[in-house]
Structure 1
Amino acid sequence: MKKLFLIALTTFCSIYSFGQSKNTVTFQAEIANRNGDVIYIKDNKNKTIKEIKINDKGVFKDTFEIEKEDFYIFFDGTEYTRLFLKNDYDLKLKMDAKQFDQSIIYTGKGAAENNYLAQDVIKEGDVNPEKLVALSEEDFKKMTDEKKLTEETFLDKSSLDKTFIEIQKKNILMNIKGLQKYYNESKAVQKLNNATAPTFNYVNHKGGTTKLEDLRGKYVYIDVWATWCGPCRGEIPFLQKIEEKYHGKNIEFVSISVDVQKDFEKWKKFVSDKQLGGIQLFADNDWNSDFTKSLNINSIPRFILIDPAGKIVNADAERPSSPELQETLNKLLN
């Protein structure tokens, strides 16, 4: 699933059901290319309230009781989606786990609310972070005000469940606050561009320590990551290709782990097992290291590009998986 913001989603298909109690939810699904043999229904505190086994055809059906009508999380072991459940729902889902959000289709009682959630996740994933941050404060406020008005007006005119509408309106406000926080933080990071980069002096996987000043005279592309970070690991194959393509050019590739100190050996083993290239460093105080704090790093992966004089070219540079990164490096190195 995509990242600007925090999300989760759902799945089902048909099998017939007999007289269902109003005190239970019937949930059935047909999942192509399933990610596992069990799906988990979790509450908003990430507590599992129900585990449902999937057969070898990707089909399941279960009936269970929930404490209250509310939003829940559907987790298939790899991907998440949001659900809205009531105790008289008879919900059917059909999906392809390889496509996940884009393939989700609900039918049955409760389908309207849950199809809304599935489409809402796709819309949020389509938000372009770069275009968002490029907006002036006035245009950003106008955009978020219009977004809030449009979404709330749709809900008010819909025939969706009243409790669902009430909760979703709160989620809309939380999402707007999340966008505002992202916008503010991104603007603060932009102000770091062209400033002198904060220094570091970290343990090198190959032995000894390496400080930023050791790399003067070359461009430095820094990857701030951690072994526990899925999106960070997802960028590794792309980073390896970038390192290979620009080998011998006037650039150093530096990966700084913000794993906690107790995971130092885990980090060392990970770097060795995965045969990670570039300069592999371990931050002295994980998230609280002076380098990460100076660059307002509060989420990872984060990439920073520094010029040969030690000035920040981009404090939030393109990811290795982004074609724009190669365009940037080609302009600087060729």
Structure 2
Amino acid sequence: MKNLFITGLLIFSTFSVMGQTQNQIKFTAKIANRNSDTLVIRGRNNFVQVIPINNKEVFAANFEAPKGFYMFSDGRESSNLYLKPNAEINLTMNAREFDETIVFNGKGVNESNFLAQQALKDEKFQNEAFTKEPAAFASLLETKKKTDLESLEKGDFDPEFKTALKMSFESFSQYAAQEYERAFQANKMTGKASPEFNYENYKGGTTKLADLKGKYVYIDLWATWCAPCRAEIPYLQKMEEKYHGKNIEFVSISIDKAKDHEKWKKFVADKNLGGVQLFADKDWESEFVMSYGVTGIPRFILIDPKGNIVSSDASRPSDPQLEQQLNGLLK
């Protein structure tokens, strides 16, 4: 499973197209344990290529696309590839080990294989470096940046690809440093009393965090305009069903602007959202939101029955680690 900040970081490369000239692409994919009968390739300017599986259990298509970076998705996870003129791409992978098994064979695939391996390196870096003290993290980040550049320069890659990746490496370093600082500060909150809130409840009146003491509280900070937030809703609903009757409350706090209050109420009704649905008083500048240093959503927070913070940056509902954590807490 791809790390969250890695996924966000690759948006730059995913949707960059180097030119407008349409090039012929021959694409096939053999995916073990597939999650869908269609594979979707997306790019800039609303480019979408949907590839259905054929009777030979292969995803196959010939299509035209400008040279550049794209994203392919099997409906549950996604990764990046680079399309070059007259490329003949054969992708193989096992969807149960999505990132770890991606291999591109054929003509014009060096760049795509580099992206696949780079995603694994980035994830390994996050898993290892984010556990270090600040000085050690800074050293590891600098080393990574140097080795990434060396690896890029050694490869036989398209010049425009190299230029884009160098920019991406710079973005990665900046974003990783920001995420490390956020995580470092968040970890310092663990075990301490959570900041309070007292917000409007969709069902009427207001709800305070103190009203929920005695139960674990899993908080989703979201907004109706946030696509990643909306993507988590089906998973959150499944979690609510699974833990119904257990000692836990699922609380969703919208940080929509006041002008979108009615839009929020309609969204809750139309989507039949469960749990405790609240509306923050000052969107991003709400005291509760600012106390947790929230700079992006969705953001999930887990609080224990005494009102102390278990995690100020908890796993998403779509992450299997959340269920493992809750099972341990609620056993």
Instruction: State the TM-score, normalized to the length of structure 1.
Output: 0.74
Relative distance call for 1:59 and 1:189 in structure 2 (3 A) is: closer
Relative distance call for 1:168 and 1:125 in structure 2 (3 A) is: same
CA contact (8 A) 1:42 1:75 kept: no
CA drift at 1:198: 2.5
Tell me the residue number matched to 1:3: 3
CA drift at 1:144: 0.6
Matched positions, count: 301
Relative distance call for 1:34 and 1:280 in structure 2 (3 A) is: closer
How many Å separate the matches in 1 of 2:89 and 2:302?
46
CA drift at 1:90: 2.7
- After superposition, residues 114-125 of structure 1 pair within 5 angstroms as 114-125=112-123
How many Å separate the matches in 2 of 1:322 and 1:55?
32
Residue type of the alignment partner of 1:2: K
- After superposition, residues 262-273 of structure 1 pair within 5 angstroms as 262-271=263-272
CA contact (8 A) 1:259 1:267 kept: no
Tell me the residue number matched to 1:27: 26
CA contact (8 A) 1:319 1:325 kept: no
Relative distance call for 1:124 and 1:243 in structure 2 (3 A) is: farther
SS in 1 for 2:2: coil
- After superposition, residues 72-87 of structure 1 pair within 5 angstroms as 72-75=70-73, 78-87=76-85
Tell me the residue number matched to 2:297: 299
CA drift at 1:181: 1.0
Task: Give the alignment partner of residue 219 of structure 2, picking from 216, 220, 223.
Answer: 223
CA drift at 1:184: 1.1
Task: Give the alignment partner of residue 175 of structure 1, picking from 172, 176, 187.
Answer: 172
CA drift at 1:282: 3.6
CA drift at 1:271: 4.5
Relative distance call for 1:59 and 1:270 in structure 2 (3 A) is: closer
SS in 2 for 1:5: helix
Residue type of the alignment partner of 1:256: S
Tell me the residue number matched to 1:234: 235
Relative distance call for 1:292 and 1:89 in structure 2 (3 A) is: same
Instruction: State the TM-score, normalized to the length of structure 2.
Output: 0.74
CA drift at 1:264: 1.6
Tell me the residue number matched to 1:323: 324
Q: Which has the larger radius of gyration?
A: 1
Tell me the residue number matched to 1:143: 140
Residue type of the alignment partner of 2:232: P
CA drift at 1:113: 1.7
Tell me the residue number matched to 1:159: 156
CA drift at 1:128: 5.0
Relative distance call for 1:158 and 1:288 in structure 2 (3 A) is: same
CA contact (8 A) 2:110 2:157 kept: yes
Identical residues among aligned pairs (%)? 25
CA contact (8 A) 1:73 1:80 kept: yes
SS in 1 for 2:4: coil
Residue type of the alignment partner of 2:70: Y
Tell me the residue number matched to 1:19: none
Question: For each residue in 1:135-167, what CA deviation from the matched residue of structure 2 results, as whole angstroms up to 9, or x when unmatched?
Answer: 211100111112112222222223333332332
Q: Structure 1 unaligned runs (5+)? A: 10-21
Tell me the residue number matched to 2:199: 202
CA contact (8 A) 1:232 1:300 kept: no
Q: Structure 2 unaligned runs (5+)? A: 12-20
